[in-house]
Amino acid sequence: MTKMTLKEVYRRGKQELERSGTPDADFDALCLLEHFFGADRTALILHGDKIADSAVCRRFFSAVAERAAGRPLQYIIGKWNFMGFDFLVGEGVLIPRDDTEIAAEKALSLARTMSAPRVIDLCSGSGAIAVTLAKLLEQSQVTALELSDEALAYLRKNIEHNCADNVTAVRGDVTKDFDLFPDGSFDLIVSNPPYIRTKQIDTLQRELAFEPRIALDGGGDGLFFYREIVAKWKTKLRPGGYLVFETGEDEHEPVALLMKRHGFTEIGFELDLQGFKRATFGKI
């Protein structure tokens, strides 16, 4: 490979991503540059004329080719930041997203009104919500329930990676294993369940084809897991406890109605940056 400067490496990587139609090619090229060369945007400006190591260049452009083919950037890098904490990710686990921070922030604000809150994160995946709450609520006890063996492995790694000793990972099916816990076990239930309508999954961006379908498919109307959780887990909350969901862009109203029918009160919503009601919550 012809010797290249860091600037040349970055430009070529960006161009290859642009040609493939990869969205945010500039951002992705910079992330890959930092991952492989340890050079962020400032370093690129100050030291961009430095000759790049040829072996590292080969790994960089191999990763660019993977990204150009649609593999998620987060899987290539192997980790992603969520609310200030790094989470290990890869095939078999849902990638933490900014939208999920809305539900996590709401759960955090509610839990901070409680003394030593007992929290359970249903459909926990990588553990992004569970670990974040545990780290920011030092007196809390957090349970993270996950069915997928692949995701559970990442969940356990992330508990260890973030030294979140107050999180307990449990393998369980949210539709069946609610009786693992006595009634009144929790002050707060939080969940980012699968909520994409089955027929819509194959029409979404190509990156989602790399993520586990089990973490995306919410059934025909997208509401299957909301119904299961509200009906089967409400008694696991102590009186006065809260349930917080991440909800899809058009799902807040049916989820709120479902919660109301099952006795939840003080139902409210939290908006994301685009103005969508991204979190739905209520008190039992």
For 62-88, how does the pLDDT look when each residue is reduced to its tens digit (9 = 90+)?
Answer: 999 999 999 999 999 999 999 999 999
Q: What is the DSSP string of 202-231?
A: GGS-GGGGGS-GGGTB--TTS-HHHHHHHH
CA separation for the pair 81, 57 (Å, rounded)? 25
Question: What's the token pair of residue 269?
Answer: 């919503």
Torsional sign, CA 228, 232, 237, 241: positive
| Residue 202 confidence (pLDDT) | 75
pTM (global) more than 0.85: yes
| Residue 163 confidence (pLDDT) | 96
Pick the CATH number of 91-283 from 3.40.190.10, 3.90.79.10, 3.40.50.150, 1.20.1630.10: 3.40.50.150
| Residue 188 confidence (pLDDT) | 98
| Residue 40 confidence (pLDDT) | 82
**Residue ranges per structural domain of the chain:** 6-69, 91-283
| Residue 131 confidence (pLDDT) | 98
| Residue 246 confidence (pLDDT) | 96
| Residue 110 confidence (pLDDT) | 97
HSE of 243, CA atoms in CB hemisphere, 13 A:
31
Query: What 3-state class would DSSP assign to 146?
Result: strand
Which conformational region is residue 125 in: left (phi greater than 0), alpha (psi within -120 to 50 degrees), or beta? Answer: left
Mean pLDDT per 10-residue segment, the chain (284 residues):
85 94 93 91 83 91 95 95 96 93 96 95 97 95 96 97 97 95 97 86 74 79 93 97 93 94 95 90 96
What are the backbone angles phi and psi of residue 275, rounded to the nearest 5°?
90, 5
